[in-house]
Homo-oligomer: A and B are copies of this chain.
Amino acid sequence: MSPWWPETTWRAMRAGVDCPMCADAHLPSNPFGILVTELPATYVRLHRNQTRPGYCVVIAKEHVPEVHEFDDETLVAFWRDAADVGRAIEQVFSPVKLDSLIMGHRCPHVHCHLYPLYPSDDPYKPVDIGEGDRFLSDDELLPHAQRLAAQLGG
């Protein structure tokens, strides 16, 4: 048996049927984090898991399953948004490195994990965004989200 999703399930997920990101990417708070701001092509969210401070997720407004399926205008706008958020994370949190990770194995709606690394990270260890247990409440996340939003002009 294939460990990947059954073909009909995956096809529906790709098509956006009951897509959880379509439902909650724009909400002020959801189980995964809080909204930082809205940019031209994306919603920017601060992830609740702040084991690595500044970890954000930049979520396309439009449901598209793969980056290479964006039309050119949306592709350009998406990556401009992600770069703007990357600069804001650098200014506010000063990580040593900032990864940009597009996966979406459980939710094929294009979103980019902007994942900061710090001096306590080992450059030889594969990155794992699920690592760590520093989960913050909305109240704890809010001042960080506000600093990012201020950098983003929000």
- Complex interface: chain B residues within 8 A of A68 (CB): 82-87, 90, 98
Q: How far is the CA of A150 from the CA of B128 in the complex (A)?
A: 35
A8 close to chain B: CB less than 8 A:
no
As a 0/1 sequence over residues 97 to 108 of chain A, the CB contacts with chain B under 8 angstroms (1 = contact) are: 111111111101
Chain B residues within an 8 Å CB radius of A121: 3-4, 105
- Provide the residues of chain B in CB contact with A27, threshold 8 Å: none
CB distance from A53 to the nearest CB of B (A): 15
Given contacts A83-B68, A123-B5, contact A117 B96 (CB under 8 A): no
Q: Chain A 111-133, CB within 8 Å of chain B: the 1/0 string?
A: 00000011111111011111000
Copies in the complex: 2
Q: Which of A34-42, A71-79, A140-148 contacts B (4 or more CB under 8 A)?
A: A71-79
Flag if B86 contacts A67 (CB, 8 Å): yes
Residues of B within 8 A of A24 (CB): none
Which residues of A approach B to under 8 Å, CB–CB? 2-5, 10, 66-68, 70, 72, 75-76, 79-80, 82-87, 90, 96-106, 108, 117-124, 126-130
